[in-house]
């Protein structure tokens, strides 16, 4: 499908399925892929003497890009699904830690605009949603329209390299895939430090009075997600409840990280994150 708007000099294609989108993107390489409303000023050529119409491809009518699907092993979320709509559709099926993080990402009017794809692709925003997706082992399914529709999976925490989104020209995120697992414990806490949001998220599964899965992450606004898999692995198979001395030992190891690796955190933040880590362990 295609159309034009004489008042804005906008020429656009509106494919209604993914294959049509990829073919259009491959054929019309000079067209801009636009996820906003077609009347958005972001895609209009506002130059005073502009004579060439702005050209755009609008994927907003492709249902697959704004769908939530659940298979036997995975949840699959379309990148164009608005956060509030995702909360509504996934309220009883998505992992609780992701629901909590989505709820905390902004007020209702902001969540009506934000998409899940926008949250993970926005530059310099490694927020609570990004952190939650990381500990859930979420992956982005990326498709290339220049290499025979090649598809591949990238772990969410590896989407960025040196502060930049590692998606090459000719590639786009088709869906976000989350492995289906049941979790018994979810922990979410957030603090503000000099206008920066810092989030601690954790989740765990237990089996026969011991920990089978334990994962946590720190989301520092503007930085990469912090994961400590050595601590996570060490806590696996730990008998429950965790003795106070064992908690103290892991807390000391956690504190040690701030003197060796995470010195950019202020003493206030270090203390707050340490308290969150200890509280997380005490809830297991």
Nearest Cα neighbor of 177 from 228, 146, 138, 227 is: 138
Give start-end residues of each CATH 3.30.390.50 domain in the chain.
185-282
Pick the CATH number of 185-282 from 3.20.20.140, 3.30.390.50, 3.40.50.720, 3.30.450.20: 3.30.390.50
Q: Residue 148's pLDDT is what?
A: 59
Q: Residue 46's pLDDT is what?
A: 42
Burial 158-185 (b: 16+ CB within 10 A, else e): ebbeeeeeebeeebbbbbbbbeeeebeb
Block means of pLDDT (10 residues each) for the chain, 284 residues, are 53 85 84 64 43 72 92 93 95 94 90 88 73 94 77 87 76 92 94 88 94 92 80 94 96 96 93 97 94
**Spatial contact of 280 and 202, defined as CB atoms under 8 Å apart:** yes
SS3 75: strand
- The second-level CATH assignment, the architecture, of 65-179 is 2-Layer Sandwich (3.30)
**Residues whose CB is less than 8 angstroms from the CB of residue 209 and which lie 6 or more positions away in sequence, other chains included:** 239, 240
Cα distance between residue 75 and residue 69, in whole Å:
6
State the chain's maximal CA–CA distance in angstroms.
73
Residues paired with 164 in a beta bridge: 161
Cα distance between residue 276 and residue 115, in whole Å:
29
Residues paired with 58 in a beta bridge: none
**Spatial contact of 61 and 14, defined as CB atoms under 8 Å apart:** yes
**Spatial contact of 65 and 80, defined as CB atoms under 8 Å apart:** yes
């Amino acid at each position: 499908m295609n159309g034009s708007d004489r008042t804005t000099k906008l020429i656009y294609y509106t494919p209604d399925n993914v294959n049509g989108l990829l073919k259009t993107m491959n054929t019309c390489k000079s067209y801009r892929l636009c996820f906003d409303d077609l009347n958005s000023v972001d895609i209009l050529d506002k130059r005073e003497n502009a004579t060439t119409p702005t050209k755009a491809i609008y994927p907003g009518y492709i249902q697959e890009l704004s769908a939530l699907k659940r298979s036997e092993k995975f949840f699959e979320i379309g990148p164009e699904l608005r956060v509030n709509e995702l909360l509504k559709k996934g309220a009883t099926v998505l992992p609780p830690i992701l629901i909590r993080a989505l709820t905390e990402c902004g007020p209702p009017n902001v969540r009506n605009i934000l998409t899940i794809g926008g949250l993970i692709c926005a530059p310099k925003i490694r927020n609570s949603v990004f952190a939650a997706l990381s500990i859930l082992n979420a992956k982005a399914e990326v498709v290339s329209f220049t290499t025979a529709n090649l598809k591949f999976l990238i772990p969410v925490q590896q989407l960025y390299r040196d502060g930049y989104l590692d998606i090459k020209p000719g590639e786009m995120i088709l869906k976000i895939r989350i492995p289906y697992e049941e979790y018994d414990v979810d922990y979410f806490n957030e603090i503000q430090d000099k206008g920066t949001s810092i989030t601690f998220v954790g989740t765990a599964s237990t089996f026969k009075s011991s920990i089978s899965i334990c994962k946590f992450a720190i989301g520092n606004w503007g930085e990469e997600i912090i994961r400590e898999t050595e601590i996570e692995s060490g806590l696996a198979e730990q008998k429950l409840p965790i003795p106070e001395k064992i908690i103290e030992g892991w807390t000391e190891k956690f504190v040690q990280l701030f003197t060796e690796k995470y010195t950019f955190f202020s003493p206030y933040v270090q203390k707050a994150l340490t308290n969150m880590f200890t509280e997380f362990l005490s809830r297991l």
